Amino acid sequence: MGSTSAENHGTEGVGRRDLIKRSAALGLISVPTMSFLSACASSGGDSGDKAKAGKKTAKNPLAVNDTAGMEFVLFDGGFGKEYAEDAVKIYEKNFPKASVKFSATQKIQSTLQPRFNQGTPPDLIDNSGAEQMDMGVLVGKNQLTDLTPLLDAPSYDDPNKKVRDTLRPGIVEMGQFDGEKVWILYYAYTVYGVWYSQKALDSLDEQYPETWDQMLAVCAKAKKKGMAGWTYAGKYPYYLPFSLYPMIGKVGGREVLDAIDNLEPNAWKHPAVKACFEAYYELYKKGYVLKGTPGLDHIQSQTAWAEGKALFIPNGSWVENESANVIPEDFDLAVAAPTGIDSSDKMPFGTIWASGGEPFIVPAKAKNAAGGMEQLRIMLSEASSKNFTGKVKSLTAYNGGTDGIALTPGLKSGVAALDKAGENVVNPRMQDWYVQLQKEKIGVSGLGEMMAGRLTPAEAVKKIQGFADETAKDDSIKHYKHQ
């Protein structure tokens, strides 16, 4: 499973889900096209025929109609489709009289938006990839089913435990937009942080640095050996927040990240933001960033890092799969939580960003919403979770499911990092609430310019605060707030 283009990689994690084409993909289908498609597609006249509820039993807590058809459309990305096909087989075994239609596509929006408009959507969708439908719009137009009944149902393995009690931190909250209802179930679980070769760090006779002074010392040592301290996806500098945001949270506390997400005035002017920007800028000033990094894309920067040209790279846990064809056998891939400033930081070392990826939704007009939710309940069992992790080197939203699996080095390191973090997992929402602000403005025009030496940290802070203020004042953008 070597690298393919980023956006159809499926290994994304939220926000990564669409990397490069998302802006272009939003509003991809113009109104004339939709009416044309609607005219061509016959809805068969039965769009209102919702499946009648079945009998609620211990084995069927969501009262699925055991003869109703169920349709499931998966995003065909870097996770492949085998894990979903395996889960569909379990559904078919449990409901032998039901016919299941399963399909996988990379063109989620162009395939499914017309069906939403006609009122004939599938029952379960993995809404991911470059052509992801805009979640904020779907929620705003009441086009999704509230998944609370699934979360409150008994879990697949243990009837005494609700589904919600088997999930990793942050998964339920990520599915909420404004209020208690849960519209999205993120199935994959991404660990973001600083990725490196343990072998390379050992060769410098160094430990992973916990304070910024230690970080600079490690980079100085690497430089003497002809190795840059850092590289990153210079063309897509919204990768920098994968380590920078949790560092800001560590230094200043979660409330600083919440204020940033909430677009509060002056949120970016917090001393913690300033300290972290200055720390990163020091990497540039001291020549610890691999030369030419601002011109590299994600694949090129990952390749340079895998070849030992740079020690550290900010990334998400998909990097193990995506770089599998360039990472040497003895690389000993590892991930760590971001280095802090010093002992005055508000949160302990180990504070990390981890969150859901692969957003699954059940449309409001699904004929068999209970069936769609039941398919998700099956996928959130220990067996299905283990199957996914074993096949695609990624954790799922199910909190566990790694016992007895031979974990790859990166995955093993990710699990250890989560154990170390404990409750100190942060989940910034900027990249799924305000895609354009996060990518184009904060990423490219702010952090990218600063790390290329074209803005000072003070100028970057001022510029980014201006972008956030513009977004806050723009009534055409739906605004969200931490509850």
Same domain, 46 and 33: yes
Residue 129 lies in a domain: yes
- Sequence-distant contacts of 134-142: CB under 8 A, at least 24 apart: 134/26, 135/177, 135/183, 135/184, 135/359, 135/361, 135/432, 136/177, 136/433, 136/478, 136/480, 138/183, 138/361, 139/177, 139/183, 140/478, 142/364
- Looking at the fold, whether 121 and 204 belong to one and the same domain comes out as no
How crowded is residue 276: how many other Cβ atoms within 10 Å of its Cβ? 27
Instruction: Give, in order, the Cα–Cα distances in Å from 83 to each of 4, 76, 90.
Output: 19, 11, 11
**DSSP conformational letter for 479:** P
Q: Are residues 412 and 205 in contact, defined by beta-carbon separation less than 8 angstroms?
A: no
Q: Which of 101, 7, 119, 51 is nearest to 364 (CA)?
A: 119
Which residue is listed with tokens 């600063």?
450
**366 shares its domain with 264:** no
**How far apart (Å, rounded) are the C-alpha atoms in residues 107 and 105?**
5
Residue 203 within any structural domain of the chain = yes
Check whether 67 has a pLDDT greater than 70. yes
Residue 451 near residue 243, CB atoms below 8 Å: no
Residue at 482 is within a domain: no
Please check whether residues 46 and 115 belong to one and the same domain. Answer: yes
Domain tally, the chain: 2
Rounded CA-CA distance 372/64 in Å is 9
pLDDT in tens, 32-55: 333 333 333 333 334 457 889 999
419 within domain boundaries: no
Q: Specify whether 145 is located in the same domain as 83.
A: yes
The CATH number of residue 120's host domain is 3.40.190.10
pLDDT tens for 180-230 read 899 999 999 999 999 999 999 999 999 999 999 999 999 999 999 999 999
DSSP state of 162: B
* pLDDT average, residue stretch 311-328: 92
**Residue with the larger pLDDT of the pair 471 and 11:** 471
1 domain-assigned: no
Least confident range of 57-66, 117-126, 298-307, 431-440? 431-440
Are 203 and 301 contained in the same domain?
yes
Assigned domain for 421 exists: no
380, 435: one domain: no
Residue 15, pLDDT above cutoff 50: no
Q: CA distances (Å), 460 to each of 58, 248, 319, 382, 465, in order?
A: 57, 15, 28, 45, 8
For 128, which DSSP code?
-
Say if residues 279 and 341 touch (Cβ distance below 8 Å). Answer: yes
- Condensed to tens digits (0 to 9), the pLDDT of residues 370-401 reads 999 999 999 999 999 999 998 888 899 999 88
List, for residues 415-454, the tens digit of each pLDDT value.
Answer: 999 999 999 999 999 887 887 899 889 999 999 999 999 9
- Residue 475: the pLDDT is 92
pLDDT in tens, 218-258: 999 999 999 999 999 999 999 999 999 999 999 999 999 99
CB 423 within 8 A of CB 347: no
**Structure token digits, residue 114:** 């017309």
272 and 398 belong to one structural domain = no
Clarify whether residues 143 and 272 are in a common domain: no
pLDDT at res. 342? 98
In a domain, 415, yes or no: no
Give ∠ CA 391-338-303 in degrees, rounded to 5. Answer: 55
- Region 315-330: what's the mean pLDDT? 91
Torsion of CA 111, 236, 232, 309, to 10 degrees: 90
Asked if the structure places residue 398 within a domain, the reply is: yes
Tell whether 147 and 244 lie within a shared domain: no
What confidence tens digit (pLDDT) does each residue in 402-417 have? Answer: 888 888 999 999 999 9
pLDDT at 293 over 70: yes
Residue-range definition of the domain harbouring residue 237? 191-354+427-473
In the predicted model, what is the mean pLDDT of the chain? Answer: 89
Tell me the per-residue pLDDT of 124-173, one tens digit each, with 9 for 90 and over: 999 987 788 888 788 888 999 999 999 999 999 999 999 999 999 889 98
What does pTM read for this prediction? 0.79
Give residue 432's pLDDT. 78
Residue with tokens 């980014």: 464
Q: What is the predicted pLDDT for the residue at 25?
A: 34
For residue 10, what pLDDT band results from cuts at 50, 70 and 90? very low
Q: Same domain for 80 and 129?
A: yes
Residues 162 and 272 reside in one and the same domain: no
